[in-house]
């Protein structure tokens, strides 16, 4: 025995108990980190000299924005695995991640709007990041909608995987096109990058919140994948044994 045989867990029946056992751990990590992060963010971190108290929303906004993009890439990675190795579990993981990714994208946009109102004086500016984040939200919606529109789960796996891969090739193109479009149209009227160097406590808090968001994503995805596994493997013997046990 030279360590854990990871391929064992590519079978839903083997992965399911692992997912069941892991969820409480990641949920606990997420809760503890979020509690620390929120305490630091709202009680310890100093008021920003330029933006006042409103800046504190970045402790939610920035981790959400990071996760929204990161989850899409991870999802596309699972999709690539599912297409290459034809593994059901990879597709189920991608399916489980999509709603969380869409939620983080939505939260990033929503908190961004609430931060923008006191800081920029407007809920929405056609800023490059905001516009590409909005397009990312539509990419998530397209992925979820295509999955839901196809009844046969294996066909839905493969079609949505292909869409996610086409999307991930396009995401950088969309980002740079929007960025260039934005500079051409409105110049540097609104600049997010020119913020003063961030206090160390703010940066640490943001990183803690990002780790909390990460642990939350893993916990939620593993919980959701359990439901997906049970639904799709409902005719398998081990699920029946689980139900009678």
Region 65-94 residues binding other proteins, contact defined as CB under 8 A: 84-86
Least Å distance, CB 151 to other proteins, is: 8
186 binds other proteins per the rule CB under 8 A: no
E strands, the chain, where? none
**Residues with Cβ < 8 Å from 90, sequence gap 6 or more?**
10, 78, 79, 81, 82
**Can you tell me the distance from the alpha carbon of 178 to that of 132, in angstroms, rounded to the nearest whole number?**
7
201 binds other proteins per the rule CB under 8 A: no
- Please, which residue, 47 or 186, has the CB nearer to other proteins? 186
180 binds other proteins per the rule CB under 8 A: yes
Least Å distance, CB 166 to other proteins, is: 6
Least Å distance, CB 55 to other proteins, is: 30
59: left (phi over 0), alpha (psi -120 to 50) or beta: alpha
**Can you tell me the distance from the alpha carbon of 38 to that of 2, in angstroms, rounded to the nearest whole number?**
42
* From candidates 166, 195, 201, 241, binder to other proteins by CB under 8 A: 166
159 binds other proteins per the rule CB under 8 A: yes
Inter-residue contact 225 to 96 (CB < 8 Å): yes
168 binds other proteins per the rule CB under 8 A: no
* From candidates 32, 44, 149, 199, binder to other proteins by CB under 8 A: 149
Give me the phi and psi of 86, to 5 degrees please: 60, 40
Give me the phi and psi of 220, to 5 degrees please: -65, -40
**Can you tell me the distance from the alpha carbon of 202 to that of 137, in angstroms, rounded to the nearest whole number?**
27
* Cα atoms found within 13 Å of the Cα of residue 11, Cβ hemisphere only: 8
Least Å distance, CB 86 to other proteins, is: 4
Span of 57-65, 105-113, 138-146, 217-225 interacting with other proteins by CB under 8 A:
138-146
- Please, which residue, 42 or 181, has the CB nearer to other proteins? 181
Residues found near other proteins in the complex (CB under 8 A): 84-86, 135, 138-139, 141-142, 145-146, 149-150, 154-155, 158-159, 162-163, 165-167, 169-170, 173-174, 177-178, 180-181, 184-185
């Amino acid at each position: 025995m030279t360590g854990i045989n990871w391929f064992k867990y590519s079978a839903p029946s083997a992965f399911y108990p692992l997912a069941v056992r892991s969820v409480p751990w990641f949920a606990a990590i997420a809760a503890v980190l979020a509690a620390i992060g929120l305490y630091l963010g709202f009680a310890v971190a100093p008021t920003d000299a330029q933006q006042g108290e409103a800046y504190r929303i970045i402790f939610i906004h920035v981790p959400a924005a990071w996760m929204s993009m990161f989850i899409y890439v991870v999802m596309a990675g699972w999709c690539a695995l599912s297409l290459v190795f034809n593994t059901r579990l990879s597709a189920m993981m991608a399916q489980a991640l999509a709603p969380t990714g869409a939620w983080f994208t939505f939260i990033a946009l929503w908190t961004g709007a609430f931060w923008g109102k006191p800081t920029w004086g407007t809920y929405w500016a056609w800023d490059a990041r905001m516009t590409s984040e909005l397009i990312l939200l539509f990419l998530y919606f397209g992925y979820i909608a295509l999955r839901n529109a196809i009844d046969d789960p294996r066909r839905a796996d493969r079609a949505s995987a292909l869409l996610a891969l086409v999307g991930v090739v396009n995401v950088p193109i969309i980002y740079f096109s929007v960025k260039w479009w934005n500079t051409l149209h409105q110049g540097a009227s609104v600049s997010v990058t020119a913020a003063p160097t961030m206090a160390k406590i703010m940066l640490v808090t943001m990183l803690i919140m990002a780790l909390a968001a990460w642990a939350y994503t893993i916990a939620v995805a593993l919980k959701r994948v359990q439901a997906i596994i049970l639904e799709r493997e409902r005719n398998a013997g081990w699920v029946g044994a689980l139900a009678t046990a």
